[in-house]
Structure 1
């Protein structure tokens, strides 16, 4: 346990700011359903992201683009019911905020009212400034997201590391400062060079959460299915698997099948 760790009954945006100030790293994972969220919250996770990555790991889509606002609200509502401590952030999905600040506001308000979540996350910088400001003006906390922004995958054409070139790195720093000035309470930096992420984290007063952005940021986030080893095909350098649930669950299922076939299950003690 970190010497910096402070017991928090309910994590808030204000407490994330305090954690950065005292040098305590912020832990963040994705969650999409009641059962998983309950486990993660009980374990003491600081932030749960109801990510549009549900499109990939829950629905089997190749990208995050197909998931709808209704889907996101469904997943968020399930997570909210399970959580006592963690701050719950919900991705506003592709097509629900980019081109129209009024639509962005409607989407954010629907998420907050219908799910009971605590904040929303939006991908992009200067190009979505108006939408971010409109959502913030309604009192909805916003987490930013820069670097590799999966909702823009067809623009990038690849999931490789972003902001390696000087011009893109310069824009990322400018966008990060813009998001802070707009009033975002934190920013996710995805798959960018570690030295650039460090520079951003040091230049901002708000927390910077990394995924594939090195160790010198204020916290880390992973997709829970990747971290637990449920997904097997996704093997980026930044991912550390803390369990091999694919193997454990497969072995358990095979044992169950064998016991049913051999009539070992149910036994006398398991019958009424």
Structure 2
């Protein structure tokens, strides 16, 4: 969960789905592009969405349980649930089939959507999905994630985040982690963070894609890797996914959150994929 939040320029509304009330935004007109994260919310994609909305209909959303998408009688967030949510949103806006770009946990959502609802997706772009089961040290990674979750739920917030950055092989000094995740913090950020650790992270990193279904399902699959992500865990998992699908990964500007930190060059690279 690394995100950059920007105030949205698009009005939002909600859609009731099984177990949740989904907040979503629609911009522009033209072919449908869906931008999705997990746990990153719609605001994280606002700059990129604004750039694409000049000639596309762009759908963004807060995933279930995050920010403005409260759960209603449900407790979790699996890739399958989030894929079903996206399918309902795509049908609701009635502008598909979609090009769906997901980043991090959202990339796992998009892959689950391509598996379960190939009729709704023309191209699925999985940008740095954390699919731990695809790499040789999967057992060690999943065990480390369980320790990280336990640390967080026991109250060691900064310790859990230090373990996260170590596990992801993202170099962040301990003092920077302390500054980011201690002291006074936004209550909504804390609530979203806790939901991710408690209900979403395990289901996402342990998800096993059906490679044969993705290869043969009729959806064009693109695996994206940030040009600054070399050696990080999501570089490894994304490379493994591309190899399993028999395709070459596509390089995007920036790192794991390049779409938020460098939206202009990311949009240019995304347009090349779209065309």
Shorter-normalised TM-score: what interval? 0.3 to 0.5
Compare CA radii of gyration and give the structure with the larger one. Answer: 1
The two structures have a TM-score, normalised by structure 2, of 0.34
Q: Taking structure 1 as the reference length, what is the TM-score of the superposition?
A: 0.35
* Structure with the larger RCO, 1 or 2 (CA within 8 Å, 6+ apart): 2
